[in-house]
Amino acid sequence: MIRNFIFDMGGVLIRFDPELFTDRLNISDPKDKEILLKEIFYSYRWKEMDLGLYDEKEMYQKIIANIPVHLHEAVERLLFHWYEPLIPVEGIDELVFTLKEKGYQIYLLSNAPISQKLYWSDIHCSSCFDGVVVSSFEKCIKPDPKIYRILLDRYDLKAEECFFIDDMPANTDAAERLGIKAYLFDDTDHLKDYLKKEGIL
């Protein structure tokens, strides 16, 4: 019996779209946009931030050492303000509130830098969550089994009673290997249909 829902954040609760974030800055030169995407979001450094190895201030210094001066302001905007404004995934807030009303416990398991704590409360459905595990505070990231076990142990959850929702196949596969029922997210309507079909919603 499913008693607990575990949600990923970026791509499930909120949109995490690096190209959208750079487009917001109205950068006209495609080469500049490519540099920003490569050096920030698609760089190994972002993964290192998710691991908590350093924060945005440290990352900023590392990035500006490698790119043209005229892009430094854009780097600052993207590192420190990419989530302004936050864009919820369509329909997900309503679903989370519905699950909470039905008595399910709700948890977050997210790969994210330490700045996650700054905007978490701005996610409308965050008030429904009974527990949060974020990679940068644990110094490990999905799909490492260790971070799933941290969540299970910290909140005394049984794997077989958990339903995990993530948009990355490696992450859902890792959850299933631990005995957690997992769903590869694409959009909220498909998820709702699946939950109804399974008799969970």
Whether residue 119 is found in the same domain as residue 24: no
pLDDT of residue 66: 87
Whether residue 62 is found in the same domain as residue 94: no
Which residues span the domain enclosing 60?
Answer: 18-81
Whether residue 185 is found in the same domain as residue 100: yes
Whether residue 99 is found in the same domain as residue 189: yes
Whether residue 98 is found in the same domain as residue 37: no
90 Cβ contact partners less than 8 Å away, ≥ 6 residues apart: 187, 188
pLDDT of residue 32: 95
Q: Which residues of the chain have pLDDT under 50?
A: none
Residues 147, 109 contacting (CB under 8 angstroms): yes
CB-side exposure of 68: number of CA atoms within 13 Å?
Answer: 9
What is the count of structural domains for the chain?
2
Torsion of CA 95, 168, 143, 104, to 10 degrees: 10
Report how far residue 7's alpha carbon sits from residue 114's, in angstroms, rounded to the nearest whole number: 18
pLDDT of residue 201: 85
pLDDT of residue 28: 86
pLDDT in tens, 34-73: 999 999 999 999 999 999 999 999 999 999 998 999 999 9
pLDDT of residue 139: 97
pLDDT of residue 170: 98
Residues 147, 140 contacting (CB under 8 angstroms): yes
